[in-house]
Structure 1
Amino acid sequence: MPLRMTLQGARVMRPGGWEDGPLAMAEGVLCDAPTGRHVDLQGFDILPGIVDAHGDGFERHVAPRRGALREPEAGVLACAHEMAAAGITTAVLAQFWSWEGGLRGPDFAEDVFDAVARVAPTVPMDLRMQLRLETHLLDTFDRVAEVVARCGIDYVVFNDHLPHDRLAEGRRPPRLTGQALKSGRNPEAHFRMLLELHARGPEVPGALDEICARLQGLGVTLGSHDDRDAESRAAWRARGARLAEFPETRAAAEAARQGGDGIVLGAPNVVRGASHKGNASALELIEAGLCDALASDYHYPSPARAARRCVELGVLDEVVAWRLVSEGPARLLGLSDRGRLAPGLRADLVIRERATGRLAATLCGGAVAFMSGAVAARFLG
């Protein structure tokens, strides 16, 4: 239930920088004048809620162990609670639609989309869906278009995780047996399937042109994942995929910037100080101005920690750093009603304890999604 109240005594991160004035909310939006009960938040900071443009950390909730795939709804709900504790007020759940099968296969993807649709109306945060489509899974493209329309999915990104170098030589990829078992396939059958998908490479560009055009006709935002070079980014741009998620090289990121495309980087890359796969350093790309948004990727606490890390290392000042997890991703996703703390926008905000830097509360649309510790006493007092 949205609160009607005025928060006072805290520092507030407004669009122009830090201010000390009160922050009021009613009916789920921010107000331009004090209203309702006043809550004293001295010693705390108020920041815009985090908009997470891409996160697949929910996989461990909906499928905690191999074969334990029966309760995606409970997993989505548990994940929503975790994201709220991490300051995320808008979450894009990035679900694979892949030849990998199991929890990344098309059948399970539909189960997840249906589970999100059931859970979303019951939680304060805004849960949204992204379909991550493997480029060589051509025979499912018609099904993809139908699912996108039926489930109201407004964001699709394209991946190609086939080990083409190995397959071109007819060699078994590393970890094939474990991957096959996760998908429920015999390893030999799995290998044959990979070879067949690889062999269809000449068909892929034309099929991608067609599916991208169909999805754009449905009003879907398109992006590509793990661009390796300027040429691949240019090819995706030509298809209308204007978001570059986690470009693997600086050349790909520079090509995105030069082409006016949005750039999403992984927050865990910033926290670690490097890519876990040996790709381009997110910190270096941020310092070069080649980042519009930081996403949780596989770890929901990372966006808030990454913004703080940029400040600690002197890469960005705090207001600019926080924009990478709030205003920046909101803009890329076309969500003009959030990402900033200004009258008339959604009351999506994070309350942070100044002394420790810990997130103490998260409000989504003016409703409490997470609250803990001393700040709870302030609200209840």
Structure 2
Amino acid sequence: MTETILTNAILVLRDRLLAGTVVLRGANIVGVQAGRSAAPGAIDLDGDYLMPGVVDVHTDNLERQVLPRLNARWPSRSAMLAHDAQCAAAGVTTVLDALCLGDLGFDKDRMQTFRDGVVDLDALAGTGLLKSEHFLHLRCEMPAADVMEMVDPVADHPRVRMVSLMDHSPGVGQYANLDRYRAMRRKDGASEDYIERRIRELTEQRERLRTPNRRALLARVAGLDVTLASHDDRTVEEIEENLADGIRISEFPVSMEAAQAARVRGMQVIAGAPNIVRGGSHSGNVNAAELVRAGAVDAFASDYVPASLVEAAFICAETTAITLPEAVAMLTDNPAQMARLPDRGRIEAGLRGDLVRVRVHEGMPVVRQVWRTGERVA
């Protein structure tokens, strides 16, 4: 069995930093020691940080590889491999590919990405070609007429780890500001008449379908080994409804009020790492750094930029009151627990050898090497 010794590193442990050494044997960590190793063949990490492999519970990055430009759809298998390589290079060793189920009329390409993504993952998972380990996060659009017919065949898929309940109707959640919603649709090329007609249609459709679809989805996944999350919560009332339905994670709350209400009620909160790196939300919602300062974040997800995760952790450690181990846990241990993957997320003997070497260069953390199950993948 192959043994790998990584030494002269600053180990980012769950509760502290430790100048030390990690010993890997086969797929697992077998030793964590203070100080340098004098063993022949030990790999000197030159004082760089060594942290657990990142667990990304929500990334839309596959969609960006499938559609790199408007009307330029890329072959799906090639896109999946490119997406996987980008995740590994960013230190993400466990990926929950967030695929949309349910069409509200503006994002039909996403439905094809979902169908192809499941097929491609099934085809590639056992080949050894994927650098990261991939699971499925089903993003279910509650007001969509076709959501349940898309959910039903895949709900029992063994790689489904998370299901989130979304509502991207105009006038609620992320799109509560209708002027911003209209501007976004204009940018997509829609005419004014079409936008106004679709707002009216989608508002009526939401009133008619959201509740029955929500009940059907909750019934369909009841008893499955999956984590349920809400999405883009804005109000205390939305948090209360989610809690009553057994949902314990609020993903990307768009207001401080919703995030704090979730935490007070014992729910966990996922925030977007790009929000941290950019210094604010790209869609005008709550600043994630303010959520961190308020103690209202448990985990980060990459949303649309895998490389944002490691950078966000180091930014938080520099600019908020949390320590680097606490910040790193928000993209390793905490999301691993959310996804019910207790064999990873920490540098501890007995856990998987998923590790990331990071050097801070002129204030920016740079991923230099990545190991998954003890093997170098980037």
Interval containing the TM-score (normalised by the shorter chain):
0.7 to 0.9
Measured after TM superposition, the shift of residue 279 of structure 1 is 1.3
Match of 2:373 among 365, 375, 380: 365
Structure 2 residue runs without a partner (length 5+): none
- Counting only pairs closer than 5 Å after superposition, residues 238-257 of structure 1 correspond to structure 2 as 238-257=244-263
Residue 137 (structure 2) pairs with residue 138 (structure 1): no
Measured after TM superposition, the shift of residue 176 of structure 1 is 4.3
- AA partner of residue 368 (structure 1): R
Q: Please give the secondary structure, in 1, of the residue aligned with 2:125.
A: helix
Match of 1:5 in 2: 4
Distance 1:193 1:113 in 2: 30
CA contact (8 A) 1:52 1:90 kept: yes
Match of 2:327 in 1: 321
Match of 1:376 in 2: none
Match of 1:231 among 215, 224, 237: 237
- Counting only pairs closer than 5 Å after superposition, residues 178-327 of structure 1 correspond to structure 2 as 179=188, 195-200=200-205, 201-327=207-333
- AA partner of residue 122 (structure 2): A
Measured after TM superposition, the shift of residue 66 of structure 1 is 3.0
CA contact (8 A) 2:50 2:358 kept: yes
Distance 1:84 1:299 in 2: 12
Measured after TM superposition, the shift of residue 314 of structure 1 is 4.1
Match of 2:20 in 1: 21
CA distances 1:297-351 after superposition (whole Å, capped 9, x unpaired): 1111111111111122143221111111111111211211111000010111101
- Counting only pairs closer than 5 Å after superposition, residues 61-210 of structure 1 correspond to structure 2 as 61-97=65-101, 98-99=103-104, 100-105=106-111, 107-121=112-126, 122-150=129-157, 152-164=159-171, 173-174=182-183, 176=185, 179=188, 195-200=200-205, 201-210=207-216
CA contact (8 A) 2:52 2:332 kept: yes
Q: Please give the secondary structure, in 2, of the residue aligned with 1:252.
A: helix
CA contact (8 A) 1:213 1:239 kept: no
Change (3 A) 1:366 1:22: same
Distance 1:238 1:220 in 2: 17
Change (3 A) 1:129 1:271: same
Match of 2:61 in 1: 57
Deviates more, 1:136-145 or 1:294-303: 136-145
Deviates more, 1:76-85 or 1:193-202: 193-202
Measured after TM superposition, the shift of residue 237 of structure 1 is 2.0
Measured after TM superposition, the shift of residue 175 of structure 1 is 5.0
Change (3 A) 1:209 1:36: farther
Distance 1:329 1:286 in 2: 16
Distance 1:180 1:275 in 2: 23
Distance 2:184 2:9 in 1: 52
- TM-score, normalised on structure 2? 0.86
Match of 1:46 among 41, 44, 50: 50
Measured after TM superposition, the shift of residue 46 of structure 1 is 0.9
- AA partner of residue 375 (structure 2): A
- AA partner of residue 48 (structure 1): P
Change (3 A) 1:279 1:27: same
Structure 1 residue runs without a partner (length 5+): 371-381
- TM-score, normalised on structure 1? 0.86
Distance 1:341 1:6 in 2: 13
Distance 1:257 1:224 in 2: 13
Change (3 A) 1:313 1:152: closer
Q: Please give the secondary structure, in 1, of the residue aligned with 2:164.
A: strand
Count of residue correspondences? 361
- AA partner of residue 115 (structure 2): E
- Give the fraction of aligned pairs with identical amino acids, expressed as a percent: 30
Distance 2:159 2:303 in 1: 22
Q: Please give the secondary structure, in 1, of the residue aligned with 2:218.
A: helix
Distance 1:240 1:196 in 2: 30
Measured after TM superposition, the shift of residue 68 of structure 1 is 3.1
Measured after TM superposition, the shift of residue 133 of structure 1 is 1.3
